[in-house]
Amino acid sequence: MQPEPIRRRPDHNISMWGAPSSGKTTLLAALFIALTKRNDDWKIVGSDPASSDYLVEKTNALSRGKVFPEASTDLERYHWTLIGPAPQKTGPWSRKAKPGPPARIGLSMIDAPGGLFAPAGPDNLRREELLDDLERSRGIVFLFDPIREFTFGDAFDHMHAPLSRLAERMLASGEFADGKLPHHIAVCVTKFDDPRVLETADKRRLLTVDLDDPYQMPRVASENVRELFHELCQVSASGNADMVLNALDQFFHPDRIRFFATSSIGFYVDQRARRFDWDDFQNLVPGEAGEGSRIRGRLHPINVVEPMLWLGQRLAAIRPSTEIS
Ligand SMILES: Nc1nc2c(ncn2[C@@H]2O[C@H](COP(=O)(O)OP(=O)(O)O)[C@@H](O)[C@H]2O)c(=O)[nH]1
Ligand SMILES: [Mg+2]
């Protein structure tokens, strides 16, 4: 019998990318929680001890402490693996055939306190590592934080340098032949639970309710999130946010971009009423003096798992490989 390979490389790699405080760490912790609540057997596992500890610590802060994970003070690079359900044997003829191994998707993130590409940004090494991760990945989870955009208006600044450097690297390696990057990109408009974001979506009549959702929480269907993004750009502090949308269109194939209206914490739902209430939906409460914001009730992550699984499915369809090292 063939010995089982001890370590199997992920089939595909995804990188998380977003400006500082766009919600990367919270999204990751919410991903763990959201996966645990589902019953389809997808899970996330650290690929090294530091990444496992990071995940446990941030998830505990969010679920038990009801606080947002503390902002990072160190620049660190982390790696996890999303592991899919074990494939089922199908059909009577497959009695002897062993089902293949479950899908594995590598997920990497660089947690940077002040932004990697800020003018007075930290060391070059980490910038290059972010680029290494992006270059190796064929999937990107890109976080666009509308709240930060209202206040600082710097989403384009944070996007511009890594995107240019990535394009330069792909061009050099001959993977820019058709004038677009080869990546799929899940663009997550974060903090959808924030009243300013929800109300913008409501004013544009972009909200729908999923009939299967017992809480009847409002959502924006993926095909309408681009319009929400565009609308949110109009109130950007710098007026540059539309350039983010233009840059996405310039650099990525139109059929490889998908938008998601994401909230890691979701809306507050009263435990007795068990229904979304337009008069009382905020799950984020400002902290006491000197403290950060807190989370009021249960977490109801929205569109946290979906971007990852969409990327996983799309990548699997292009390159159904199971590399074994
Ligand atoms: N309203 C709301 N705020 C969020 C959400 N996720 C993160 N935040 C806020 O954004 C801050 C920064 O989030 P964090 O995950 O640390 O961002 P990172 O720097 O990209 O890792 C948090 O402290 C929260 O105040 C969310 O889903 N909804
Ligand atoms: Mg962080």
State the closest ligand 1 atom to the C-alpha of 284, by its place in the atom list counted from 1.
Answer: 1
Extract the runs of DSSP E, i.e. beta strands, from the chain: 12-18, 43-46, 76-83, 104-111, 139-144, 184-189, 207-209, 218-220, 257-261, 284-285, 294-295
CA of 135 to the centre of ligand 1 (A): 26
Whether residue 26 has its Cβ less than 6 Å from ligand 1: yes
In testing the pocket of ligand 1, which one of 17, 67, 68 has its CB within 8 Å of the most ligand atoms? 68
Type of residue at 62: L
Which ligand 1 atom is the nearest neighbour of the CA of 283? 1
pLDDT (tens digit per residue) in 100-124: 788 899 999 987 765 555 555 555 6
- Domains in the chain (CATH in brackets) are 12-88+101-318 (3.40.50.300)
Ligand 1 pocket member 68 (CB < 6 A): yes
Cα(251)–Cα(228) distance, rounded to whole angstroms? 20
Tell me how far the alpha carbon of residue 210 lies from the centroid of ligand 2, in angstroms: 31
The model's pLDDT over 203-236, given as tens digits with 9 standing for 90+, comes to: 999 999 998 999 999 999 999 999 999 999 888 8
- Give me the pLDDT at residue 91, please: 63
Answer yes or no: is pLDDT of 5 > 70: no
CA–centroid distance, 116 to ligand 2, in Å, is 12
Residue 30 has pLDDT above 60, yes or no: yes
For residue 145, which atom of ligand 1 is closest to its CA? Answer: 10
In tens, the pLDDT along 161-189 reads 889 999 999 999 999 888 999 999 999 99
Kindly give the number of the ligand 1 atom that is closest to the alpha carbon of 262: 27
